[in-house]
Structure 1
């Protein structure tokens, strides 16, 4: 709302995502074209541009919310979407680097409704393709010639280290039976929150924002990122496979220490004790036991805590955004994206 009380409206979130993809994808494709051929082929398959043989494919490459946050953040501080293209491409490359590696480490066989890259091309090639993506992410910023390039590379480097540390913690959790909720939250802040925060902050920096604006947008993105992961963890248990692209109860089947699960295990409830006995045994869970485990997570309060915390983080992020930035269409659209990320069906 402006100082005169006029309400500024933005486009619907899904329209914004479609617009952002149209703006960013040509630059992303141009960057991918510079990869060595073997890496380019795997990356293009992962992005959904072609099938395993290289024939054009209409497969979705995901929502691409991170580059959308970058270009909108640039606009929110008075810049343009074109100003933020290097930032948008870089954060998407880092995100897909993490997905390629995560799928290998987690053993996930399906992403975006088709086989994961490692199941098609092998573990080693998929890991190397991820390495190539994170490498060219820094090259994109370095080659931009933007005044914010040097500080942007340091920002992205810190983000990648936080992401890797978060993933390391996530992997270590698989072998432990004593994971507490505070450290699980810290893991998610590193693994997910840091990159969404960087998307906003880097976009703002490339849009010419002040240090205060860059910091405010970074905080906004980090809160949205944690809320996003909370909802993603809910979808990992109760999500519709037609929407998530993953099998039902996939996180429970993999015994992931996701936030709803850890919140449930941390609760002083009979359901928590029963869930622990089921979750920490050596044998795989049967289909009926997966259904029962999901009920136990719900009964122990893991589902309600996760949704409530996601809603709180959304409210905090929107208040910070409105307090620190002048009202504009871009700010309205950032708010809409945050709501879409947190209020998905689950």
Structure 2
């Protein structure tokens, strides 16, 4: 993987200089939070509602809600329509997180106990299932034709997310899996939930289906970029999940692993031996040694270059038929995706 070109570096610096206003919409975000709280139910009378409030109360960036609001504004949709759509996509995302934590065995989420770690797996599954229903209730106030279209979009993209998660869990660490398998999985699992807020916003703004799908496609690619940086960040930060190296404990065939094996194919047996261990049998020192090997062996630096090249391509792309205002939202989103790994620049060799 070659290093980012000077032109690409210039584009990236321009992205980081953008004012962080396109995804803020703080006044509407307050309404989104209120709507999600309302839909979660009365925590005093309902133990299910209590678990949902507990999970939603751990915070998070609300990035998908912000993206829905920004996309609706950029495409000319009505702000009062944007709130319920933003709540719907954020609730869907959070439902997927509850189930992810169970499947991955992560006991922490946003530096708080994961729902399953506090209430048990069975109740956490119930809470996640409950939360999966609420996005559809959030759409109840739209005119019939618009509601029908949004329900179909939500169901289609939720299906894509679930299929992507299934694909990822089927990616056992072995030599017969590669980058094609990885990108298929993350395009579904992560890319879909970046495209969904924009696809619904395009519907709210009255775009024709072909144009709406074209607009959403760019954001799916940004979702893949997000997953690449998240895989890299796992070597250096706990990401609110308890410790660095969570992907190694989980046995994930991450972008870091694939990059390392491209560079050092002779390490495959040793790497797969660790990744295929049950999580509770994986030792801290084994994970630390693997992280060190990934960094010193050049995988971290090469993956960072890949991320920069992909980001520069997204930033330079005009997107055929894509409106300039939504292009600005895409550029700002790329900037936000890159922010967590900014500190790594110059520190990897």
Tell me the TM-score normalised to structure 1 length: 0.82
Q: 2:97 maps to what in 1?
A: 99
Q: 1:56 maps to what in 2?
A: none
User: Are residues 177 and 119 of structure 1, via their aligned partners in 2, closer, same or farther at CA, if it must alter by over 3 Å?
Assistant: farther
2:50 equivalent to 1:41: yes
Unaligned runs of 5+ in 1: 1-8, 49-58
Counterpart Cα distance in 2 of 1:82 and 1:312: 38
Q: Which one of the candidate residues 14, 30, 35 is aligned to 1:22?
A: 30
1:66-92 CA-partner distances (Å, limit 9, x unpaired) = 111111111111123322222211111
Which range moved further: 178-187 or 38-47? Answer: 178-187
Q: Which one of the candidate residues 298, 306, 311 is aligned to 2:303?
A: 306
Correspondence 1:1-346 to 2 at 5 A = 11-12=19-20, 16=24, 18=26, 21-33=29-41, 37-48=46-57, 59=58, 61-145=59-143, 147-174=145-172, 178-239=176-237, 241=238, 244-280=240-276, 284-299=281-296, 301-320=298-317, 324-328=321-325, 331-345=327-341
Instruction: Look up the SS of the partner of 1:208 in the other structure.
Output: coil
Q: Note if contact 2:219-2:330 (Cα within 8 Å) is conserved in structure 1.
A: no
User: Are residues 156 and 15 of structure 1, via their aligned partners in 2, closer, same or farther at CA, if it must alter by over 3 Å?
Assistant: closer
Instruction: Look up the SS of the partner of 2:159 in the other structure.
Output: helix
Count of aligned pairs between the two proteins = 324
Compute the displacement of 1:187 (Å).
Answer: 0.5
Counterpart Cα distance in 2 of 1:38 and 1:209: 41
Q: 2:3 maps to what in 1?
A: none
Instruction: Look up the SS of the partner of 1:251 in the other structure.
Output: helix
Q: Note if contact 1:237-1:252 (Cα within 8 Å) is conserved in structure 2.
A: no
Q: 2:5 maps to what in 1?
A: none
Counterpart Cα distance in 2 of 1:132 and 1:91: 15
Q: 1:5 maps to what in 2?
A: none
Q: Note if contact 2:164-2:187 (Cα within 8 Å) is conserved in structure 1.
A: yes
Q: Note if contact 2:22-2:70 (Cα within 8 Å) is conserved in structure 1.
A: no
Instruction: Look up the SS of the partner of 2:234 in the other structure.
Output: helix
Instruction: Look up the SS of the partner of 2:251 in the other structure.
Output: coil
User: Are residues 80 and 318 of structure 1, via their aligned partners in 2, closer, same or farther at CA, if it must alter by over 3 Å?
Assistant: farther
Unaligned runs of 5+ in 2: 1-16, 345-349
User: Are residues 248 and 20 of structure 1, via their aligned partners in 2, closer, same or farther at CA, if it must alter by over 3 Å?
Assistant: farther
Compute the displacement of 1:123 (Å).
Answer: 0.9
Tell me the TM-score normalised to structure 2 length: 0.82
User: Are residues 321 and 141 of structure 1, via their aligned partners in 2, closer, same or farther at CA, if it must alter by over 3 Å?
Assistant: farther
User: Are residues 191 and 305 of structure 1, via their aligned partners in 2, closer, same or farther at CA, if it must alter by over 3 Å?
Assistant: farther
Q: Note if contact 1:166-1:190 (Cα within 8 Å) is conserved in structure 2.
A: yes
Counterpart Cα distance in 1 of 2:118 and 2:277: 31
